[in-house]
Amino acid sequence: MIDKIYCADVKPDMEGQRVKLAGWVYRKREVGGKVFIVLRDSSGIIQTIFKKDSGDAYKLAKKVGIESSVIIEGTVKADPRAPTGAEIQGEKLEVVQDVEFFPITKDASPEFLLDVRHLHLHSPKVAAVMKVKATMMQAAREWLLQDGWYEVFPPILVTGAVEGGSTLFKLKYFDRDAYLSQSAQLYLEAAIFGLEKVWSLTPSFRAEKSRTRRHLTEYWHLELEGAWMDLWDILKVEEELISYMVQRTLELRQKEIETFRKDLTTLKNTEPPFPRVSYDEAIDILQSKGVQIEWGEDMGADEERVLTEEFDRPFFVYGYPKHIKAFYMKEDPEDPRKALAADLLAPEGYGEIIGGSQREDDYDKLVQRIIEEGMDPKNYEWYLDLRKYGSVPHSGFGLGLERLVAWVMKLDHVRWATLFPRTPSRLYP
């Protein structure tokens, strides 16, 4: 490893110190016989200046292209005019790999940026999104550990649907059919009999044809399952976990968040308890705002967008009609038309970031729901066993990590929240 420091390590009070940095040529200009190179590394940027009296270094600085990889040695000079209050008087420049023409220019279209996503990852703005995403998961792990949740590692190759057969990716598994997991939920439900409180972060796959700004065909899914928990218990877990993730990330990554989001109000408002709105109330609100929707219909992205205008923080919608929700959700004993289910919606038009519910823990009722959904109970034999051998009330949820990051960073599409987005039209690079 090169014995170097990071751009962000260079401070004005290091005036006169000789330092070595390594990174990429982010910006470059020549003024008054000097070459100004803004060096970029994973920590940020620093201005470096090469004067004619730096000999070969000056000649190389004049020629080196944007996004070339370089190693620079020089002396720190405090200068309030410099972007970071200090700059480097360049004395030595090694060009590791010269780039004649970097294909990404200021006017690059979103589609082109996705075509060259492997090069778009040079961008400090993309790095800011990935740092925020990593910090959100760091915070999640901190919270889950202190609250006694066990991480488990469920399978991705599975034999059945959790969220409907129409969005399954099928593949050949030797001489049998298999599918890419839509959700780890059913396996987490098995894990609670030994560990009680479990979580997993897995890729989930949805062969969704919908081309909305919040759908990917592969996304990172943070899922929890808790034994002995009812719907209201798991909503408390959700609001405490999400609040901790958002506040901790604000604390550690405010600079990166502000790369995209100027107003932090809704993030600062993200503290428990979150507002809880029934599906019935949500329908009333939408109808009062002129949205054409009847009781019993599902809310899509457009309806959720309108609903979120009423809130300045994440909020729950609970008590959806049973027939628009998944087979595993427990019927509300107080209203058999409804399921003990709740989604968490992010404000500012982002909508659903979490789907969760209390699970049907009665064997016969679950078989009946599977049949009602037109599925074959035989395909769920192992899952039904969970209701035969010490079944317990239990609840859980799934958080779409990219959707959470897209809201926190106010991104215009969930695809910018993942390293290499997968959508119906994008499988490469």
CA distance 380 to 366: 10
Which of 319, 321, 347, 396 binds ligand NSS (CB under 6 A)? It is: 396
Toward ligand NSS, which CB reaches closer, 253 or 359? 359
Site for ligand NSS in 50-109 (CB under 6 A): none
CB 144 within 8 A of CB 155: no
Element (DSSP H or E) covering residue 418: none
Residue type, 229: M
Q: Does 356 engage in binding with ligand NSS (CB under 6 A)?
A: yes
Which of 143, 397, 407, 416 binds ligand NSS (CB under 6 A)? It is: 397
Q: Does 221 engage in binding with ligand NSS (CB under 6 A)?
A: yes
Among 397, 398, 391, 323, residue whose Cα is nearest residue 362: 391
What's the min distance (Å) between Cβ of 399 and Mg ion? 11
Rounded to the nearest 10°, the torsion over CA 93, 97, 103, 106 is -20
Q: Does 219 engage in binding with ligand NSS (CB under 6 A)?
A: yes
Toward ligand NSS, which CB reaches closer, 73 or 402? 402
CB 131 within 8 A of CB 42: no
Q: Does 400 engage in binding with Mg ion (CB under 5 A)?
A: no
Toward ligand NSS, which CB reaches closer, 65 or 160? 160
238 binds, among Mg ion, ligand NSS, none (CB under 5 to 8 A by kind): none
Which of 74, 90, 398, 421 binds ligand NSS (CB under 6 A)? It is: 398
Q: Does 197 engage in binding with ligand NSS (CB under 6 A)?
A: no
40 binds, among ligand NSS, Mg ion, none (CB under 5 to 8 A by kind): none
CA distance 390 to 394: 12
DSSP 129-151: HHHHHHHHHHHHHHHHHHTTPEE
256 binds, among Mg ion, ligand NSS, none (CB under 5 to 8 A by kind): none
What's the min distance (Å) between Cβ of 299 and ligand NSS? 12
Q: Does 183 engage in binding with ligand NSS (CB under 6 A)?
A: yes
Written as six digits, the tokens of 278 are 């029934």
Rounded to the nearest 10°, the torsion over CA 337, 397, 237, 276 is -40
CA distance 81 to 85: 6
Which of 67, 73, 87, 223 binds ligand NSS (CB under 6 A)? It is: 223
What's the min distance (Å) between Cβ of 374 and ligand NSS? 18
Cβ neighbors of 156 (< 8 A, separation 6 or more) are: 180, 181, 202, 203
| 371 CB neighbour count, 10 Å cutoff | 12
| 309 CB neighbour count, 10 Å cutoff | 12
CA distance 45 to 259: 14
Total of residues contacting ligand NSS (CB under 6 A): 23
CA distance 285 to 291: 9
Q: Does 369 engage in binding with ligand NSS (CB under 6 A)?
A: no
Which of 400, 406, 417, 423 binds ligand NSS (CB under 6 A)? It is: 400
Q: Does 356 engage in binding with Mg ion (CB under 5 A)?
A: no
Q: Does 355 engage in binding with Mg ion (CB under 5 A)?
A: yes
Among 90, 20, 107, residue whose Cα is nearest residue 56: 90
Site string for ligand NSS, 140-169 (x = CB under 6 A): ----------------------xx------
Distances (CA, A) of 299 to 88, 209, 258, 358: 56, 18, 31, 20
CB 198 within 8 A of CB 188: yes
Q: Does 230 engage in binding with ligand NSS (CB under 6 A)?
A: no
Which of 77, 120, 197, 215 binds ligand NSS (CB under 6 A)? It is: 215
Toward ligand NSS, which CB reaches closer, 215 or 387? 215
Q: Does 243 engage in binding with ligand NSS (CB under 6 A)?
A: no
DSSP state for residue 359 in the 8-state scheme? B
Q: Does 216 engage in binding with ligand NSS (CB under 6 A)?
A: yes
Binding-site ranges for ligand NSS (CB under 6 A):
162-163, 183, 185, 206, 208, 215-216, 219, 221, 223, 352-356, 396-398, 400, 402-403, 414
